[in-house]
Structure 1
């Protein structure tokens, strides 16, 4: 039986395994998927998770629940020796082992791309995982709790200042969603006002959201300005030591929350740890039929899709001739990859990936959104409904769709969930504070010195110790 190994359980990996289960006959192949996390994260929902509009668990898909005939391994693939068709799998505990395969599908995704800017690695947080989105939400809510008990001044201003770096879709969405969350929180704190909150977005280019038209992006800028948010264009971050964000304009913004969304890069652990061909931007070189290789050469038994791969964009609309790294391409590539892999196993020819971008949609906080398809654009609450409708339907499995839709319905009537669970990151703090501990052992008393030996004949006898005097009461 052919052995198929899928490296990564994100969009492309999950959908590949999901569709392979549909297309493969029983006993036709053995499928194994390896990922450090036991779930797929639906990343377009991360800004709403950060804003408390979606329950964190509802925006992830459990691999073991929805992959019925796939072996799920919670570990990392730290090496790929495709020449011998062996992968090194490293679990969280225990020793690594060698996993033999016949076909490998590399869908390890992307990670946040950062630059060696002083303080960023120590103070910023990305927005690629569900854990990061939850931490951003809880940090902002905790800062409001702390600021409410402080008098006006630098300490309170720092707590109520948010800086987002990167003006792409992810950056603008989380920036606008956090602005919306902060506006809701203000009404719950009598000692704070809207003017006490400060939101800054830093973008190195001269515009935001390159996926939409210039006119639409300018509308977004005006909308954010009306909501009290500042966008710094043609500006770079030069430092963030101790949370003091130094800009290329000379301005310094003290903050306690820095969100980094300035680009992504292919998962370096997988790309650098293998012998598959890599192109100049650090992605696995992939053909239009999703097999690894170039236009003239095929690496037999190797496939790639999603953000980790450089797939030619046959529509001519991709940056540099390749498909841009987004969920729209990852999902569609995975579906075709599963069909192509099964076709090759059956001795048939694979098909080339061709998908023209149908548009872009973004949520900018409650009741605000934008939608762009060609020259057609929607703005405001209609676009916001389109955003929720599209992503609600795109969420894999009806089980997860219903959880997300039910949460939105409850929020419509009950309002945004504003529970702060930052202490979940240190769940034992109360137990440790009051837990009884063994008393430290009493110090051992030193033994009394030995008595001097009796005097020699003719010598004087040792003097007797005088009785201790007892003080009168």
Structure 2
């Protein structure tokens, strides 16, 4: 846009963007958490960035109500609106899940999972109670898609390395369980690679239960639909995503699953000044429909979101200037997944040909693709530097669980001490008299 032509305002509850495909490697300690987030004010220097939440939208008056981190809510007028809230974890009303579950949608959860797993090893090493030890060394992961398979693969790899530093813990003492309601894992890479991925994880001692689900996990007591019951301190929930539920408050047309209903030009149905893209948008997959797939929609992944963003930006400017809108069309280029250090699966689509890779070569493809897709050269270089150092230095196995409550130790040192018994005696005597 020309200088001064418009003001672009970004409203987000966080002041950074998280590159989510790297969260499993954050949980495993292969990448520093700071290197998978991009500060918005740094990469959007010409935009106005507001840290807060849009709680409602008045389409008639063209104002959005913003609730900041502190202070009262206020109205923000707009001429053009872009809805890109992404997705949140898809959960079910399972008893105990809210209290015990750990998600994998944000960098905070990746850091928390890593610290939590290492803390469980500390607990198991330090206790003489066999039940406490068994519960600490049992790790349950629910969801066998990319997020679940990659996370359990990376975390198992890290725990295997960390166990070398504990005198009383071996890999055989740990129990890793992967649960999925479907009949296969890694459906994104096809049945053959999915089967190989399952067999590979099982060869590493990971138990995989398909066609089943979790009924409850109250106080860490996990009950599966197939009758299996285990006690675990670690329950990781990666059973899919759903559009951000706040969309229901905006008065926008929504699809059957809660996505914003958008046309192939990414304009919200029935409007000419609102666009939507990414995981919160229901966008027709034009390329798939041309190939004969009926009712095909763009899947919620980075491959589509990154490309939709470019088309959306052009269409917003076209809408401002009265030019025609461009339809978004992208043919699937395949999928890559890492299952731990030097292990992965990849399906590369080249025209009508599909190239399927597994093992170390697929792992290189996974790192290469996502490393180059990481926004900004600053973060690309830092991520590749982490990987390079990891080739020569041992993996860090330090738990920083105190990060979750950093003031606790200071509070214990600074809180008022109770009055000595000697100073209380006169008062007690006076009261008695």
Aligned residues: 421
Out of 278, 284, 308, the position equivalent to 2:260 is 284
Q: Render the CA deviation track for 1:346-374: whole Å, top value 9, x for unaligned.
A: 22111000001101000100000110124
CA distance in 1, matches of 2:200, 2:42: 41
**Alignment pair present for 1:139 and 2:112:** no
C-alpha contact 1:164 1:202 (8 A) present in aligned 2: yes
C-alpha contact 1:124 1:257 (8 A) present in aligned 2: yes
**Alignment pair present for 1:430 and 2:430:** no
**Alignment pair present for 1:351 and 2:351:** no
1:233 corresponds in structure 2 to: 210
Q: Secondary structure at the match of 2:223?
A: strand
1:260 corresponds in structure 2 to: 237
1:418 corresponds in structure 2 to: 397
Out of 66, 69, 75, the position equivalent to 1:89 is 66
Q: Secondary structure at the match of 2:188?
A: coil
Q: Secondary structure at the match of 1:378?
A: strand
Q: Render the CA deviation track for 1:66-87: whole Å, top value 9, x for unaligned.
A: 1110000000000011122111
CA distance in 2, matches of 1:278, 1:234: 30
1:26 corresponds in structure 2 to: 3
Q: Render the CA deviation track for 1:197-256: whole Å, top value 9, x for unaligned.
A: 110000001111111121111111111111110110111111111111101111102110
C-alpha contact 1:82 1:276 (8 A) present in aligned 2: no
Structure 1 residues 439 and 165, CA gap change in structure 2 (3 angstroms): closer
Q: Which runs of 5+ in 2 are unaligned?
A: none
Q: Secondary structure at the match of 2:252?
A: coil
2:375 corresponds in structure 1 to: 396
C-alpha contact 1:411 1:417 (8 A) present in aligned 2: no
Q: Secondary structure at the match of 1:211?
A: helix
CA distance in 2, matches of 1:254, 1:368: 29
**Alignment pair present for 1:224 and 2:201:** yes
**Alignment pair present for 1:385 and 2:364:** yes
Deviation at 1:435, TM superposition (A): 2.2
**Alignment pair present for 1:299 and 2:258:** no
Instruction: Give runs of aligned pairs for residues 186-335 of structure 1, distance below 5 A.
Output: 186-269=163-246, 271-293=247-269, 298-316=270-288, 320-335=295-310
Instruction: Give runs of aligned pairs for residues 100-111 of structure 1, distance below 5 A.
Output: 100-111=77-88
Deviation at 1:125, TM superposition (A): 1.1
Q: Secondary structure at the match of 1:393?
A: helix
Deviation at 1:419, TM superposition (A): 1.9
Greater mean deviation of Cα atoms: 346-355 or 373-382:
373-382
Instruction: Indicate the RMSD between aligned Cα atoms, in angstroms.
Output: 1.8
1:148 corresponds in structure 2 to: 125
Q: Secondary structure at the match of 1:187?
A: helix
C-alpha contact 1:267 1:308 (8 A) present in aligned 2: yes
Larger radius of gyration: 1
CA distance in 2, matches of 1:304, 1:287: 9
Structure 1 residues 447 and 310, CA gap change in structure 2 (3 angstroms): closer
Deviation at 1:330, TM superposition (A): 0.8
Out of 58, 69, 81, the position equivalent to 2:35 is 58
CA distance in 2, matches of 1:448, 1:261: 63
CA distance in 1, matches of 2:332, 2:396: 34
1:70 corresponds in structure 2 to: 47
Deviation at 1:320, TM superposition (A): 4.4
Deviation at 1:274, TM superposition (A): 0.8
TM-score normalised to the size of structure 1? 0.86
1:469 corresponds in structure 2 to: none
C-alpha contact 2:97 2:217 (8 A) present in aligned 1: yes
TM-score normalised to the size of structure 2? 0.94
Greater mean deviation of Cα atoms: 413-422 or 392-401:
413-422
Q: Render the CA deviation track for 1:255-306: whole Å, top value 9, x for unaligned.
A: 101110111111111x11111111111011101001100xxxx302111001
C-alpha contact 1:371 1:378 (8 A) present in aligned 2: yes
Q: Secondary structure at the match of 1:164?
A: strand
Larger % of helix: which?
A: 2
C-alpha contact 2:273 2:319 (8 A) present in aligned 1: no
Structure 1 residues 27 and 156, CA gap change in structure 2 (3 angstroms): same
CA distance in 2, matches of 1:67, 1:419: 34
Out of 79, 82, 89, the position equivalent to 2:56 is 79
Deviation at 1:444, TM superposition (A): 9.1
Q: Secondary structure at the match of 1:405?
A: helix
